[in-house]
Structure 1
């Protein structure tokens, strides 16, 4: 894709991924016309503006706003060519206790953005999802499943706009806010006790850079209507604890509401519409909106077998204690 004279909007742009995307785009595509960082946290915007000063990055525009505010989204999408939607209420446990707030942001916000993008004839939209949206047991996962379905269905809306909406789904981002690594590091510093919910627990793992590259690939290659799932390594929660604090106490505290022992990114039901593209999977729209045979030919896509699922506990690729220790060291640095 030629990014020259393109205007890009990142919702939730001051979050871990949004910030990493901003830095990547400014470095790799300095020819862009404008990069709009949209979020509701003025303190994070101020800190980010100091790190990326406007005299060095005149393409940057920081805009305060909330995806719940439809009118604000309509204004901020004016003149935008590409949208990366990372804004969400993401903490599983806070969402369980505040379901109405999670619904307003993750579902209402998604619909607001869809309408704003269609009205402004945005070219492409990539929405960030989560493994928790696959066969969800948490309120957070359920809201993201609905959000995914809204973005996929938006491709069928005929109103003179040709906006392509696609979704990227992946697992835990190493070192992101609220994830297990900074939590364990903090607990180690506070007293050396690392609480373990379940010793058998596993999760998919992705680095910030891998997440950024997957989003950019989707932005450039997606046809609209797909859910793209990268092939990732899994880790065991006990291995993370042993990589961070082998000498620490590790009491078993039990699974909290909304948690699974293993996460899943592709269910057996999804498998009917899933193709293997080498480094990632694609779940194509259940109701065809383009020529699937042509898609298979262009991407050399191979249908996954019936009964296939992509589960962090059954994965064939794993992080070891040693590899986790290296990743955590790099994260801290």
Structure 2
């Protein structure tokens, strides 16, 4: 029905109700009061009709969607009717020097009853006769607060939604047995398995917008005991901004089950060193590098220089940033290899960036065990090339993305990352550029991480391969890792190694089980196979040695490490000796040097053959 037809229908209906109400009021009371008079009835009818339409327009009674009518709409009707009756009383007093109070009171009651009834009857008809709840999936709503109330109301009011709310659960004792839009709070989150079985629930919807990840993990453990599918309501800010509707539920992601909350940024400190500046990101097409570019874009830099070796990935992030920023930021895509020293010097001199985020690296542990020379060329010499080019170009801040595998490394990848940290710590002493490193654990969803591998194995019907039942890792999301890198640049004074407080390590086998469950399968259906620890892998990862960590945080969830440093001459001599080493010797010496503690200086002298 068009707006004009709808408006005409409502105006006509209200006019009939207004006239009917006042005529019935007069005729009911006339035998007892002898008040019938044609002129009195005519003037009262016209004044009531005109004032009703005036106040109906004022309170927008003709613009409301009555299929969603609630107490708020009833209040608006009451206000419009009461004011129209009051205006009619004033006109009666002016015209007849009398107010027919009883007539107006009867008219007011009939008016409220018929106007309200006409509106709410449509909602009742729609809810009870049009909605086909018997064909909908039975849903349990977790959370009886504002989010849960919003979800229940939307599910009841939308016929195109496949869910029918059957029950609610909430851990607030004061809400037990209460009803929200006719749906009862039947227990707490611990009761989810019982309620799902008793009420034959098909679907569980978590509707707590302020829910922390640790709480999400607790709730999901209860949901996982059932066969019901689990989803989460969208973020309130996304609903408010119109990006999604309340009933567009999303799947629970592995990120939701990390059991830790993301790091919040100090917006002012980041804006101070990013806004209007030239930012260069290496590995800009990768998982971390591309997310750094996205988040940096929100702080309105003048230019973002995208440096990467793969043309497809650089093309994709280039197009994404251009579409996202609509020309407000200059985007410069650069195809180049950090191992190409002359190319890096040329790029730095041409664009003279203020800040460099170095995310380009070889990071796959088993692959680097088979290709140690490539790890050295990229992670050590590539970092050295880029860092020295940054010094020559007068870059203010240089942030190296490092890894938790640089702590007590047992593999080539971790050892080369530790040596890269030594390189930038030494250059921080020798130049005006502030160099810092950022260590974090595994990144969920990044290229080469276990999540994409597990998903492929699940799609193929299993089994999911896990190296060892006791293997643990620290995990964070790609946005979290990128936020830490950006925040580190704001905190940097020079020479620091920043480390995120990543909470408790996660068992890889538990991660696999959660992913299987989230994919809608049973553990037995897909299966888990233990393949054994691969070359260079640790059973447990660390972020700092016990003697390397400052107990106090410099920023919420961020520590500064106290990793040992070396004499510059010894470090450069050792690095220069690396290309001549064989693969076997290279791996052995890298790991030995990266793990050296008090004997580091002497060990480097011996390995590099430098006699001092």
> Aligned partners of 1:230 and 1:96: how far apart in 2?
27
> Aligned partners of 1:169 and 1:244: how far apart in 2?
26
Q: Which has the higher contact order (CA 8 A, sep 6+)?
A: 1
TM-score by length of 1: 0.81
Q: 1:153 deviation in Å? A: 1.2
Alignment pair present for 1:156 and 2:429: yes
Alignment pair present for 1:47 and 2:320: no
**Higher helix proportion:** 2
Q: 1:268 deviation in Å? A: 2.4
Structure 2 residue aligned with 1:205: 475
Alignment pair present for 1:259 and 2:537: yes
> Aligned partners of 1:20 and 1:171: how far apart in 2?
16
> Aligned partners of 2:407 and 2:564: how far apart in 1?
15
> Aligned partners of 2:462 and 2:313: how far apart in 1?
30
- Partner deviation per Cα, 1:125-150 (whole Å, 9 max, x = no partner): 01000010000001100100100111
Q: 1:41 deviation in Å? A: 0.2
> Aligned partners of 1:37 and 1:90: how far apart in 2?
20
> Aligned partners of 1:9 and 1:140: how far apart in 2?
24
Alignment pair present for 1:34 and 2:303: yes
Q: 1:4 deviation in Å? A: 3.4
> Aligned partners of 1:215 and 1:120: how far apart in 2?
22
Partner SS for 2:288: helix
Alignment pair present for 1:6 and 2:277: yes
- Partner deviation per Cα, 1:52-84 (whole Å, 9 max, x = no partner): 337824411100001101111112112111000
**Unaligned regions of 5+ residues in structure 1, if any?**
289-333
Q: Say which one has the larger Rg.
A: 2
Structure 1 residue aligned with 2:548: 270
Question: Counterparts in 2 of 1:1-333, with a 5 A limit?
Answer: 1-26=272-297, 28-30=298-300, 32-53=301-322, 56-57=326-327, 58-78=329-349, 79-157=352-430, 161-233=431-503, 234-245=505-516, 246-247=523-524, 248-271=526-549, 275-277=552-554, 278-284=556-562, 286=564
> Aligned partners of 2:470 and 2:428: how far apart in 1?
40
Q: 1:107 deviation in Å? A: 0.3
Structure 1 residue aligned with 2:229: none
- Partner deviation per Cα, 1:232-274 (whole Å, 9 max, x = no partner): 1321111111101234211111000010111011112424x66
Partner SS for 1:166: strand
Structure 1 residue aligned with 2:27: none
Question: Per the alignment, do residues 4 and 276 of structure 1 end up closer, same or farther by CA in structure 2, a change over 3 Å counting?
Answer: closer
Kept in 2, the 8 Å contact 1:134–1:264? The answer is yes
Kept in 1, the 8 Å contact 2:547–2:562? The answer is no
Partner SS for 1:265: coil
- Partner deviation per Cα, 1:171-193 (whole Å, 9 max, x = no partner): 00111011111110111111221
Partner SS for 1:117: helix
Kept in 1, the 8 Å contact 2:502–2:557? The answer is no
- Partner deviation per Cα, 1:169-226 (whole Å, 9 max, x = no partner): 0000111011111110111111221111000011001111111111111111111111
TM-score by length of 2: 0.45
Question: Per the alignment, do residues 286 and 196 of structure 1 end up closer, same or farther by CA in structure 2, a change over 3 Å counting?
Answer: closer
> Aligned partners of 1:2 and 1:108: how far apart in 2?
28
Kept in 2, the 8 Å contact 1:68–1:104? The answer is yes
Kept in 2, the 8 Å contact 1:225–1:284? The answer is no
RMSD (CA atoms): 1.8
Structure 2 residue aligned with 1:313: none
> Aligned partners of 1:116 and 1:274: how far apart in 2?
34
- Partner deviation per Cα, 1:70-104 (whole Å, 9 max, x = no partner): 11111211211100000001111111111111100
Structure 2 residue aligned with 1:298: none
Name the count of aligned residue pairs.
282
Q: 1:2 deviation in Å? A: 4.0
Kept in 1, the 8 Å contact 2:273–2:490? The answer is no
> Aligned partners of 2:551 and 2:382: how far apart in 1?
27
